[in-house]
């Protein structure tokens, strides 16, 4: 046996974010209140009782700000307005209040790496021309070549194609994502001041924290060197540069001025858990998504390694881990766990699946994985629909694809629409209760014809359903003193292919990733299992929670 995690079990007064289960609401696909085929704040408000009964602690809401929606809200035109598609600021305030009344915290997204090209600052920069102070808030440069017709350097956009676009007067501007998402220049004091003011604007309206989009990308090497010159182990010119932490130290001080443990979670795709740990210090951000865990295939050895590395590295800075399997940017895990990756999935690259998914297998594993993640020390994220066992929709017709990745990649990458299909709530046919009965438009992405068994209504009360498994797991997690923040101890007598760990007081989680049934270790009762345990043996790809 070995003891994991350097921090002692904190007192029960530990802040909420050390052990929270945070449910991700991809707003345009969660629930459509006004019948235009796009989810909105009214829809979330109407589903607060569902979220309450599911048992989550907080909601992360994908960007709801005013936006031309070129990247579904990640292109923000006004950080102090709610997009009319989703509602109004007054409605957001009301929603935050109602969520709080349900005991649910609200964590919106903030997008500081880039704005929309329709943001007042960018429009002013275009109008003011080369050399103007307005252009200094973004990253404008002359082109290369005798007539400046070549981009200033060799950087590619994360969505495909060059990271530079040329404007009418001949200058180029940087966009690590779509051309409609110009990168802000974080060397400029206005940018710091503006985002601090925006954080305050929403903190004053009661939000409990922020999810920081592309937190690892804000600071660029001022020389903007070609990537071609990057040596192995060298410092990347735009990902995960040490200077980003100066920004977050200031944000932490700001958040600490407000009562109620406001907190940040970083979207930071780093190469190693060591680098991730640099984001989450007592004078930096509170938590960060654990993408190393998300990027790991269903394999006992690999999962154990990533769990150990995570807990060890975050333990050195006293930060809690987070456990994440899915989000709006990656293939849903019920589909991923039913196959393997064709090549090792690494940060800032897309997942490449090897062959088609075995969905029955992926779903069994997703049940086991839910029990694994909810038993590990720290907090956990649940991406809307994973509690329903939704698979990736891999056969959306090309004509409906909307993710900018599809066009930018020259139709080689279908993009992320397959994990963003609107949620099925009830009924036998689309829109499955996603939109009201008198809706004027169909859901913005078509839902599969065979989704009736996945609806909330169909699964409610069915003890074998994914939804009831999540409800039960969240109930046990809430009540059991061993779960949430803390440490774990591996049961090292478990055979290869079985992950078994103990948490105090008196709790064991066993996950069988082998191909043989596994006789459960001694216990007084089975608190919960992915499927009924027969003759004390745990079937392959199943998990159980035991009381000692």
Token code pair at residue 440: 């004027």
CB of 71 to ligand GLC, least distance (A): 5
Pair 485, 10: CB distance under 8 Å: yes
CB of 132 to ligand GLC, least distance (A): 26
Find, among 80, 109, 119, the residue nearest to 200 by Cα: 80
Residues 99-118 that bind ligand GLC (CB under 6 A): 111
Task: Output 405 or 508, the one with its CB closest to ligand GLC.
Answer: 405
Show Cβ contacts of residue 93 under 8 Å, excluding neighbours closer than 6 positions.
205, 206
Q: Which residue minimizes CB distance to ligand GLC?
A: 74
Helices assigned H by DSSP within 401-538: 404-408, 456-459, 466-479
Q: How many residues of this chain interact with ligand GLC, rule: CB under 6 A?
A: 9
Judged by CB under 6 A, does residue 71 bind ligand GLC? yes
CB of 278 to ligand GLC, least distance (A): 19
Find, among 211, 20, 205, 16, the residue nearest to 94 by Cα: 205
CB of 208 to ligand GLC, least distance (A): 20
CB of 408 to ligand GLC, least distance (A): 11
Q: Report angle CA 180, 182, 184 to the nearest 5 degrees.
A: 155
Catalytic residue flag (residue 257): yes
Pair 258, 12: CB distance under 8 Å: no
CB of 50 to ligand GLC, least distance (A): 24
CB of 161 to ligand GLC, least distance (A): 15
**Per annotation, catalytic residue among 3, 147, 257, 522:** 257
Judged by CB under 6 A, does residue 25 bind ligand GLC? no
**Per annotation, catalytic residue among 40, 213, 392, 485:** 213
Q: Where are the beta strands (DSSP E) in 243-346?
A: 263-266, 287-288, 322-323, 340-341
Catalytic residue flag (residue 261): no
Task: Output 74 or 164, the one with its CB closest to ligand GLC.
Answer: 74
Task: Output 111 or 139, the one with its CB closest to ligand GLC.
Answer: 111
Judged by CB under 6 A, does residue 74 bind ligand GLC? yes
Other C-beta atoms lying within 10 Å of the C-beta of residue 235: 11
CB of 444 to ligand GLC, least distance (A): 16
Judged by CB under 6 A, does residue 121 bind ligand GLC? no
Judged by CB under 6 A, does residue 417 bind ligand GLC? no
* CA atoms of 35 and 337, how far apart (whole Å): 34
* CA atoms of 339 and 355, how far apart (whole Å): 7
Residue carrying the six token digits 């270790």: 521
Q: Report angle CA 495, 498, 501 to the nearest 5 degrees.
A: 100
For residue 340, the cross-strand partners are: 354
Q: Which residues of 360-384 are buried (b: 16+ CB within 10 A; e: fewer)?
A: ebbbbbbbbbbbbbbbbbbbbbbbb
Residues 143-182 that bind ligand GLC (CB under 6 A): 177
Judged by CB under 6 A, does residue 57 bind ligand GLC? no
* CA atoms of 435 and 31, how far apart (whole Å): 7
Burial environment of residue 535 by CB neighbours within 10 A (0 to 12, 13 to 18, 19 or more): exposed
Task: Output 347 or 548, the one with its CB closest to ligand GLC.
Answer: 347
- Site string (186-225) toward ligand GLC, x via CB under 6 A: ---------------------------xx-----------
CB of 213 to ligand GLC, least distance (A): 5
Helices assigned H by DSSP within 289-447: 291-294, 300-317, 333-336, 359-375, 404-408
Other C-beta atoms lying within 10 Å of the C-beta of residue 435: 26
Helices assigned H by DSSP within 28-152: 41-46, 48-54, 89-101, 120-128
The residue within the footprint of ligand GLC, chosen from 32, 183, 329, 417 (CB under 6 A), is 329
> Quick check: bond before 385 cis, omega within 30?
no
Task: Output 328 or 523, the one with its CB closest to ligand GLC.
Answer: 328
Is the dihedral angle over the CA atoms 399, 404, 407, 412 positive or is it negative?
negative
Q: Which residues bind ligand GLC (CB under 6 A)?
A: 71, 74, 111, 177, 213-214, 267, 328-329
Which amino acids are annotated catalytic? Answer: 213, 257
């Amino acid at each position: 046996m070995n003891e994991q995690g350097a921090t002692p079990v904190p007192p029960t007064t530990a802040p909420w974010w050390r052990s929270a289960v945070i449910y991700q609401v991809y707003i345009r696909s969660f629930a459509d209140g006004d019948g235009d085929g796009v989810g909105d704040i009214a829809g979330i408000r109407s589903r607060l009782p569902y979220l309450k009964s599911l048992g989550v602690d907080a909601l992360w809401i994908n960007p709801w700000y005013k936006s031309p929606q070129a990247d579904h809200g990640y292109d923000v035109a006004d950080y102090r307005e709610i997009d009319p598609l989703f509602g109004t600021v007054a409605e957001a305030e009301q929603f935050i209040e109602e969520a709080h009344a349900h005991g649910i915290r609200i964590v919106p997204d903030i997008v500081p790496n880039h704005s929309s090209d329709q943001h007042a600052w960018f429009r002013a920069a275009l109008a003011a021309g080369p050399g103007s102070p307005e252009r200094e808030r973004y990253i404008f440069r002359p082109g290369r070549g005798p007539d400046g017709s070549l981009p200033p350097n060799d950087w590619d956009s994360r969505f495909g194609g060059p990271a530079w676009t040329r404007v009418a007067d001949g200058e180029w501007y940087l966009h690590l994502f779509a051309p409609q998402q110009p990168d802000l220049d974080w060397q400029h004091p206005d940018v710091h001041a503006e985002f601090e003011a925006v954080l305050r604007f929403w903190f004053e309206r009661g939000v409990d924290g922020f999810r920081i989009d592309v937190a690892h990308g804000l600071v660029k090497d001022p020389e903007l060197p070609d990537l071609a010159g990057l040596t192995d182990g060298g410092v990347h010119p735009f990902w995960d540069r040490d200077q980003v932490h100066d920004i977050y130290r200031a944000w932490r001080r700001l958040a600490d001025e407000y009562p109620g443990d406001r907190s940040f979670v970083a979207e930071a795709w780093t190469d190693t858990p060591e680098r991730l740990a640099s984001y989450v210090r007592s004078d930096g951000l509170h938590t960060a998504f654990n993408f190393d865990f998300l990027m790991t295939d269903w394999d006992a050895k690999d999962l154990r390694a990533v769990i150990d590395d995570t807990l060890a590295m975050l333990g050195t800075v006293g930060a809690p881990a987070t456990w994440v399997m899915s989000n709006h940017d990656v293939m849903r895990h019920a589909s991923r766990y039913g196959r393997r990756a064709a090549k090792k999935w690494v940060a800032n690259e897309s997942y490449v699946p090897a062959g088609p998914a075995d969905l029955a297998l992926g779903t069994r594993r997703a049940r086991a994985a839910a029990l694994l993640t909810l038993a590990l020390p720290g907090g956990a994220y649940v991406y809307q629909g994973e509690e329903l066992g939704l698979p990736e929709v891999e056969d959306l017709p090309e004509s409906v694809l909307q993710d900018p990745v599809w066009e930018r990649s020259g139709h080689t990458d279908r993009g992320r629409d397959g994990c963003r299909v609107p949620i099925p709530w009830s009924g036998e046919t689309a829109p499955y209760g996603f939109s009201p009965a008198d809706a004027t438009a169909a859901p913005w992405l078509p839902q599969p014809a065979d989704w009736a068994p996945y609806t909330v209504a169909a699964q409610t009360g069915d003890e074998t359903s994914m939804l009831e498994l999540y409800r039960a797991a969240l109930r046990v997690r809430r009540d059991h003193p061993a779960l949430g923040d803390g440490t774990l101890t591996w049961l090292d007598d478990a055979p290869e292919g079985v992950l078994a760990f103990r948490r105090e007081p008196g709790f064991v989680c066993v996950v069988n990733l082998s191909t043989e049934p596994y006789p459960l270790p001694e216990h007084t009762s089975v608190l919960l299992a992915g499927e009924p345990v027969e003759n004390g043996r745990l079937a392959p790809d199943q998990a159980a929670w035991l009381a000692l």
